[in-house]
Amino acid sequence: MILGKTELSKLLSDKLVECSIDESSQLQVNGYELTVSRIEAFEGPGRIGFDNSERVLPSYRAIEWDDGWAFLKKGCYKITFNEIVSIPKDMCAIALPRSSLLRSGASIHTAVWDAGYKGRSEAMLVVYNDDGFYLKKDARVIQLLFMRLGSAQEGYSGRYMNENISG
């Protein structure tokens, strides 16, 4: 079951989402919108295998904001969200791009937010528009959908737990 605005509103007081820009604007009928803090360009290849022992992430180059805006050429970018999300052990979350983003020729790809995960998440922004795309700092770009699980889970304990919380 996807949680609605009433249920999410109650969970926000339990720190489901922290560091919001404007909670009343970000809380939606079916989810919670996350905002962009940082954009980085990929520089070099990444590598993953069956387990994490061979994982190598690419390096990144920060994209600077120009008067609060960034012009992004066609391509892939890593974005970091402002918000810190704390997923209870009886929930998980998935995210979908806002329709305005899609109508501009861009999209966001994310992984599942696992039960028990806490951190400031990252996602991949892809600009498909041949003419590029302008993105403003703190723009709302995805809607995070929270779902209850059938039972409480052990909880996420991977490498990205509590990542990027301090900054």
Q: What is the pLDDT of residues 65-98, one digit of tens each?
A: 999 999 999 999 999 999 999 999 999 999 999 9
> Does an H or E element contain 24, and which?
helix 23-26
Q: What is the pTM of this model?
A: 0.90
pLDDT at 115: 94
Q: How confident is the model at residue 124 (pLDDT cuts 50, 70, 90)?
A: very high
Quote the DSSP letter at residue 77. Answer: E
Domains defined for the chain, CATH in brackets:
5-43+59-148 (2.70.40.10)
CB atoms within 10 A of CB 129: 13
Least confident segment among 75-79, 133-137, 140-144, 153-157: 153-157
Nearest by Cα to 80 from 139, 146, 132, 27? 139
pLDDT in tens, 39-70: 999 999 999 999 889 999 999 999 999 999 99
The contacts of residue 164 (CB under 8 Å, 6+ apart) are 80, 119, 120, 121, 122
